[in-house]
């Protein structure tokens, strides 16, 4: 196992305004490299005092930012986009250390997101309202919330942060970004690049922290909006806490996305999409279609191909060119995933085809799970209902279109859905019937388009990022009537 390039890590600190704070009231934590189980660096954690300082910096920075001409904000965000592209290799390497996931062109993907949202800065005009105005003049337009508290998880933290910060800033807000204690470094570097791009100090503050920091941010009276990405359980707690101050909340929560494979679809493509769902970001993707539903007549064919593909996955060092799957984020996560699979098999809720265990040998010190396929999974079983967040596919047969839709909609979640069929009319019907925020037909996406709304329904949350909808998520409407 190659050692990670620790020399690329930023000097661990909380970024508040233009200051890098190494000592904090929240103490310190140690980052663990999931591929080896060994520590990389110690970093400070924000406590309530640091959250208060970060919010104060955002209040001041946000006033300055919103006071700039839209063209100035647009050009500054474009400079950030250029810097993200320029630092692509560095950001990709830091992200790999953060989460031990094999990623490519991460800086460039974030750069595209920032550039897209930058283009909205000078296009957010209001509308004149004429009906019923009588002798007055009425205009409606959007204004920023002020300070947006952004709470992001450990899986893909850089990409998730960019997806939220970019529209929030384009809409005129400032941000306090709280990262997970499990993956602090890439987002800290993003904050530093924001300053290098000329974004005023305090507009983007980046702090790592646990529950104390999260609670302080959600409850802070000067935070205008919260955007939380993470588990449904924690999302509910965030919404409840924010309700005390009537702070609006956007929630991007978990998923249990179904991939509906009809017999007339491209079965090889469907199986490969399943493979990608299982190994992308080491199986730790909320939108991944890991719940595969297959029409009965094609079931054996797809199941056999899935088993072949998953058995052939190269598991190992995330820095190795040939590696396809790295470790999950922590030992706790690894043990939880193996326990879920073991329980499902023991209870007769699924038949183990391949995988389902921690890997040993030279991988024993890391948190590696063998690629896993569970067949004949009962739709109402825990393994089919709850998010696993690891390299595990569940496969379930269905009888017909109506049965497939019933099974797909039969969970609490509603983030994404996938449909594989050669019948265009069926694709439209099923896409319309799936109770989810996003549907992908005859394929999947390496990254969601920056111009398309991203988000879910039901227990997968509410609110959207992406497109104009994503900009409007971070503005509140204001109406001005003037007598003539």
Q: Residue 54: give its domain's CATH number.
A: 3.40.605.10
Question: One of 187, 387, 458, 473 is an active-site residue; which one?
Answer: 387
pTM above 0.85, yes or no: yes
Average pLDDT over residues 10-30: 97
From residue 426, alpha-carbon distances to 397, 419, 423 in Å are 18, 9, 5
Give the pLDDT band (50/70/90) at residue 464: very high
Give me 14's structure tokens: 């909380």
Do 354 and 210 reside in the same domain of the chain? Answer: no
43: enclosing H helix or E strand:
strand 38-44
Per-residue exposure over 40-76, b if at least 16 CB sit within 10 Å of its own CB, e if not: bbebbbbbbebbbbbbbbbbebbeebbeeebeebbbb
Give the pLDDT band (50/70/90) at residue 125: confident
Give the pLDDT band (50/70/90) at residue 465: very high
> What pLDDT, on a 0 to 100 scale, did the predictor assign at position 137?
86
240: enclosing H helix or E strand:
helix 232-243
Where do we find the tokens 């690629």?
Answer: 371
Dist. CA 172–CA 144, nearest whole Å: 5
Proportion of the chain above pLDDT 70, given as a percent: 99
> What pLDDT, on a 0 to 100 scale, did the predictor assign at position 252?
97
- Averaged pLDDT of the chain: 96
Where do we find the tokens 């359980």?
Answer: 233
Q: Is the pLDDT of residue 103 over 90?
A: no
252 is catalytic: yes
Q: How crowded is residue 20: how many other Cβ atoms within 10 Å of its Cβ?
A: 16
Of 367, 349, 347, the closest CA to residue 357 belongs to: 367
From residue 365, alpha-carbon distances to 5, 63, 348 in Å are 19, 49, 31
Question: One of 192, 252, 295, 473 is an active-site residue; which one?
Answer: 252
362 is catalytic: no
Do 209 and 172 reside in the same domain of the chain? Answer: yes
Do 170 and 264 reside in the same domain of the chain? Answer: no
Average pLDDT over residues 233-253: 97
3-state percent breakdown (helix, strand, coil) of the chain, nearest 5: 40, 25, 40
In a domain, 69, yes or no: yes
CA angle 338, 342, 346 (to 5 degrees): 175
In this structure, which long-range contacts are made by residues 331-338, counting pairs with CB atoms below 8 Å and at least 24 apart in sequence? 331/37, 331/367, 333/367, 333/389, 333/390, 334/358, 334/367, 334/368, 334/369, 334/390, 337/369, 337/388, 337/389, 337/390, 337/392, 338/369
> What pLDDT, on a 0 to 100 scale, did the predictor assign at position 61?
97
Q: How crowded is residue 312: how many other Cβ atoms within 10 Å of its Cβ?
A: 10
From residue 71, alpha-carbon distances to 59, 76, 119, 202 in Å are 21, 9, 9, 20
What pLDDT digit, counting tens, does each position of 311-347 carry? 999 999 999 999 999 999 999 999 999 999 999 999 9
Of 88, 116, 115, the closest CA to residue 103 belongs to: 88
Proportion of the chain above pLDDT 90, given as a percent: 93
What pLDDT digit, counting tens, does each position of 400-422 carry? 999 999 999 999 999 999 999 99
Residue 354 β-bridge partners: 373
Question: Rounded to a whole number, what is the distance in angstroms from the first to the last CA of the chain?
Answer: 74
Do 209 and 241 reside in the same domain of the chain? Answer: yes
Give the pLDDT band (50/70/90) at residue 129: confident
Do 197 and 282 reside in the same domain of the chain? Answer: no
> What pLDDT, on a 0 to 100 scale, did the predictor assign at position 256?
97
Three-class SS of residue 93?
helix
Do 238 and 329 reside in the same domain of the chain? Answer: no
Do 240 and 332 reside in the same domain of the chain? Answer: no
86 is catalytic: no
Average pLDDT over residues 442-455: 86
Q: Is the pLDDT of residue 143 over 80?
A: yes
In a domain, 172, yes or no: yes
Do 315 and 442 reside in the same domain of the chain? Answer: yes
CB 107 within 8 A of CB 90: yes
Do 479 and 379 reside in the same domain of the chain? Answer: no
Question: One of 50, 110, 178, 458 is an active-site residue; which one?
Answer: 178
Of 132, 153, 103, the closest CA to residue 333 belongs to: 153
Do 237 and 97 reside in the same domain of the chain? Answer: yes
Of 117, 116, 121, the closest CA to residue 72 belongs to: 121
In CATH, what number is assigned to the domain containing residue 383? 3.40.309.10
Do 479 and 417 reside in the same domain of the chain? Answer: no
What pLDDT digit, counting tens, does each position of 265-308 carry? 999 999 999 999 999 999 999 999 999 999 999 999 999 999 99
- The CA radius of gyration of the chain, in Å to the nearest whole number, is 23
308 is catalytic: no
Average pLDDT over residues 149-173: 97
Dist. CA 29–CA 330, nearest whole Å: 14
In a domain, 339, yes or no: yes
- 267: containing domain: 258-449
Question: One of 187, 286, 295, 458 is an active-site residue; which one?
Answer: 286
By DSSP bridging, strand 225-229 and strand 351-354 are unpaired
Q: Domain total for the chain?
A: 2
What pLDDT digit, counting tens, does each position of 375-385 carry? 999 999 999 99
Q: Is the pLDDT of residue 445 over 80?
A: no
Q: Is the pLDDT of residue 484 over 90?
A: no
Do 247 and 265 reside in the same domain of the chain? Answer: no
Per-residue exposure over 207-243, b if at least 16 CB sit within 10 Å of its own CB, e if not: bbbbebbbbbbbbbeebbbbbbbbebebbebbbebbe
Dist. CA 123–CA 129, nearest whole Å: 18
CB 213 within 8 A of CB 50: yes
């Amino acid at each position: 196992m190659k050692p990670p390039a620790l020399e690329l890590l930023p000097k661990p600190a909380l970024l508040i305004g233009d200051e890098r704070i190494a000592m904090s009231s929240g103490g310190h934590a140690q980052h663990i490299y999931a591929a080896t189980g060994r520590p990389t660096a110690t970093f400070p954690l924000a406590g309530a005092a640091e959250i208060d300082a970060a919010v104060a910096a955002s209040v001041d920075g946000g006033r300055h930012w919103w006071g700039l001409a839209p063209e100035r904000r647009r050009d500054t965000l474009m400079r950030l986009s250029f810097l993200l592209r320029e630092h692509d290799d560095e950001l990709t390497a830091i992200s790999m250390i953060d989460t031990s996931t094999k990623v490519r062109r991460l800086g460039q993907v974030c750069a595209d997101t920032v550039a897209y949202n930058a283009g909205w800065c000078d296009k957010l005009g209001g509308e004149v309202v004429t009906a019923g105005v009588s002798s007055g003049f009425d205009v409606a337009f959007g204004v920023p919330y002020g300070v947006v508290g952004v709470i992001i998880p450990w899986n893909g933290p850089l990409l998730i942060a960019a997806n939220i910060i970019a529209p929030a800033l384009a809409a005129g807000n400032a941000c306090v970004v709280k990262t997970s204690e499990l993956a602090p470094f890439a987002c800290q570097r993003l904050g530093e690049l924001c300053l290098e791009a000329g974004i005023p100090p305090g507009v983007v503050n980046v702090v790592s922290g646990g529950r104390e920091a999260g609670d302080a941010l959600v409850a802070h009276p000067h935070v205008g909006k919260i955007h939380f990405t993470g588990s449904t359980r924690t999302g509910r707690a965030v919404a409840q806490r924010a309700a005390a101050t009537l702070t609006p909340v956007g929630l991007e929560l978990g998923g249990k996305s179904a991939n509906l494979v009809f017999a007339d679809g491209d079965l090889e493509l469907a199986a490969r999409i399943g493979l990608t769902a299982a190994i992308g970001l080491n199986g730790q993707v909320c939108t991944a279609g890991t719940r595969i539903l297959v029409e009965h007549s094609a079931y054996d064919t797809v199941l056999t191909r899935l088993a072949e593909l998953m058995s052939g996955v190269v598991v190992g060092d995330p820095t190795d060119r040939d590696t396809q799957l790295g470790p999950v984020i922590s030992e706790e996560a690894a043990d939880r995933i193996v326990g879920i699979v073991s329980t499902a098999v023991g209870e007769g809720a699924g038949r183990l085809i391949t995988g389902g265990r921690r890997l040993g040998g030279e991988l024993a010190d890391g948190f590696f799970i063998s690629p896993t396929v569970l067949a004949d999974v009962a739709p109402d079983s825990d393994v089919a209902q709850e998010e696993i967040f690891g390299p595990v596919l569940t496969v379930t047969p269905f009888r017909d279109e109506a049965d497939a839709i019933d099974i797909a909609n039969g969970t609490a979640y509603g983030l994404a859905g996938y449909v594989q069929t050669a019948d265009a009319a069926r694709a439209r019907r099923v896409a319309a019937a799936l109770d989810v925020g996003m549907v992908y037909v005859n394929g999947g996406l390496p990254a969601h388009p920056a111009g398309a709304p991203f988000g879910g329904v039901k227990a997968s949350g509410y609110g959207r990022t992406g497109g104009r909808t994503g900009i409007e998520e971070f503005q509140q409407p204001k109406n001005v009537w003037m007598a003539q």
